[in-house]
Structures are given as structure tokens and as C-alpha cells.
Amino acid sequence: MSYGTAGSLRSVTLDDVRGAQKMLSGVARATAMEGSRHLSQLVGTPVHLKCENLQRTGSFKLRGAYVRIAGLLPEERAAGVVAASAGNHAQGVALASSLLGVHATVFMPRGAPLPKISATREYGAEVRLHGQVVDETLAAAEEYAAETGAVFIHPFDHPDIIAGQGTVGLEILEQCPEVGTIVVGMGGGGLAAGIAVAVKALRPDVRIVGVQAEGAACYPPSLAAGRPVSVEHPATMADGIKVGRPGLVPFGIVDELVDEVRTVSEDQLSAALLLCLERAKLVVEPAGASPVAALLGGAGAFPGPVVAVLSGGNVDPVLLQRVLRHGMAAQGRYLAVRLRLTDRPGALATLLGVLSTVDANVLDVSHVRTDPRLGLTEAEVELHLETKGPTHCAEVGHALREAGYTVIG
């Protein structure tokens, strides 16, 4: 397998993907395909979830990493491999290397979540923490490769990586032969490119839709320019697709075969992650939830049946807690209110009694008596409430006003 020019489909072929599938037999799981009645009702067509969050190491990355490392020459294997990643690629390279008996060194940012660092070590890799952002980590890994002769394993910009990821597409066609649209998250583009190669060769009528986070959407300007261009300072909670520049090899394939690239907001990502957890009972990281976010934002826009690829589930528990709260707030299920009341015994209990009559769950109370803005007999209370949605929020506000309280924020 060899590199082609940007836009050349010969860089990765259906035969390459089929060869990768044989290579991955007994290594990568053929992950489950789960139907979602709730999403189907929202989107207006049958929706299925391809659960790569249940793959070994918690994401699709094992597929490409194993194919790439397995294809190395004996002398290359002897030199070891090196990678740079904040999480999923690191774990994929670590496990693949361990299975193949190859020494792996993985550079990770100093701020990488502890569970991802620990998992990468447990899979057998030597972990080196360097830099605060992935670009710095990537530079360190490339410098290490140049100094030691270790083979650098790129997360998306290599035909073997793309062929491995393309096996997800073959499984989708086996599990849902009638599929009309496949929606997949995109960072550098390796997964979307691989799926597109496999699916379009066998079912050219299937629509492939890539999804990027608004704050890290490098593909729309690149496709408009006809070449990979960089997005300065990409920013999104979805670190799995937080990439500032497309890979040259996947860009050529995406340009030819992916029908559309959509972007989603942070609020949509939060809501999608919450939906996956509540309705599908699946733990999915923000990048893995990006296809669901696109479906929520584009009901009726996807010919069905639709398959949404949940690309990973490696979410840091601290981030998960923040994202879930953000998602609930975006859905109107959190309400923060600030009001003043007379500072007398029982005043706070009376206020909480009003809230109990409308079934609002109080999460936090801040009671201030000493602010210079307050009158001599006043106190200010800030409440954080869990509600049942926007309609319930309105009911809470109405109940407070009816009881004589003035909400000031």
C-alpha cells in the first residue's frame, strides 16, 4: 500500500480494507449495532448506533493502529514505534504494539486525563508526558522518531490507518444492509475516509456525512480551498476530533467520497452525550456523540435508515460530570435564580416550601447577608435547581412571583 496524491482513490482501496478486516480477525471486535427508537422518532427515520465505544480500548483507533504496526518490516518492528495522542490513539497504539510484541513509546500532553494515561501504560506502552497541547506533544514524538529510528504511527494520515478504520464501514454494511446514510465524527478524517472507501465501493448510493465541532472545523475551509488548511487554536470539549488540519491522505478521499460535512455546537454535543447515556444507556465521549448531535440538529435531513457511528467512549469522569450538567442546562433542566427576601427566621424555609409545591429539586443554596448592596433587613439567595425542562422552569418562575418574590437574576 502506498501514498497517492491528494484526491487519488488509489491510496486506499476496497481490497485494502478487506485485507485489513482479515488481519483484524480475532483482534478487534465486530461491535454491536443498536437500534434507537427515541432517535428514530426525533429524526423521522430508523436510526441505528454503531457502538465503537464498546471496542477494545474504548474506541475505533485499535483497528488502524494494529493494521499499521502489523504491516511494518521486521527491522522496523525491532526499532519500536512512537505515537502522540491525548487518549484514544495512544491506547490503540499501546494495545496493538503489545499484541504484536513491539515496543511502543507514547507521548501525551501533561494535562491528559489520568485514566487515559493509566490505561495507556496498562496496555504496555512507555508513556512520556510532554507539552501542554497536542501540537507540542506531536513535535516531541517526531523528534524522538528522528533520534531513535522508531517508526512514527500517525493517528490518521496513512493509508494503513485508513484501511483499518474502513473495516467499520464493512461491518455497517453487514449489520444494516439497507442503510441510507452513515453519519460519522471527523477530526483528521481517517475514520470517515476509511468508511467512505469501503461503503462507496459497494454501495455508492449510501450518503456519507461527516461531523465536526464548530470550534475545530478544519474540513469546511479546506474543502472550499481544495487543499488542507489549518484552523488556528481549535477549541472544543470533543478532544477526539479536536484537530487543526486535515491529513493529506484522508483529505483526498473525503473530498471525493464524503457527501457532506456538518458542524455542531458545544451545546449540541452535550445534549447528544446526555441522550446517549439516558436513552441508549451508552457511555460515549463528546467526539463519539457528534453524529447524534448532528441528527438532533437536522431532523428530516438524513435519508434513512441512518447509522450513527459512536466512535469512542473514553471520557474522563470529571469531564463527564461537567458535560452532563452542561447538557442538562442546554435542555432547560437546570435553573439558577437569584432573589432577595426579608432576613428573618424562617424566610428561607418558606421560600423552599414554595419550590417544593412545584416539584423543583434544590441542588445548591447560597445565602448572603453581608453584601453592601443589601438593605439592613435584606438577604440575597441564589438557588440552583433541577427542573423537568423549559415549561417547568416557567412554572417555577411563576410560582415565585405569585408568592411575592422578585427574581433579580
Cα 403 to the chain's mean position, in Å? 44
- For residue 300, CA distances in Å to 40, 180, 208, 259, 314 come to 10, 13, 15, 16, 30
Nine-digit cell at 380?
A: 440575597
Cα 234 to the chain's mean position, in Å? 14
Q: What are phi and psi of 119, to 5 degrees?
A: -65, -40
- H/E stretch holding 308: strand 306-310
Nine-digit cell at 296?
A: 438532533
Radius of gyration of the chain (CA): 25
CB 120 within 8 A of CB 178: no
Cis peptide leading into residue 305 (ω within 30°) = yes
CB 128 within 8 A of CB 99: no
Query: 11, 59, 97, 311: which is the annotated catalytic residue?
Result: 311
CB 309 within 8 A of CB 338: no
Across the beta sheet with 151-152, what order do the strands follow? 126-129, 104-108, 81-84, 151-152
CB 66 within 8 A of CB 323: no
- Reference 199, options 10, 17, 31, 52; nearest CA is 17
- H/E stretch holding 322: helix 317-330
Across the beta sheet with 361-368, what order do the strands follow? 334-342, 378-386, 361-368
In one letter, which amino acid is 117? I
To the query of whether residue 25 is one of the catalytic residues in this protein, the response is: no
Nine-digit cell at 188?
A: 483528521
- Reference 276, options 107, 121, 33, 49; nearest CA is 49
The residues with which 208 forms a beta bridge, in sequence order, are 182
Query: 36, 59, 61, 242: which is the annotated catalytic residue?
Result: 61
To the query of whether residue 61 is one of the catalytic residues in this protein, the response is: yes
Question: Catalytic amino acids?
Answer: 61, 311
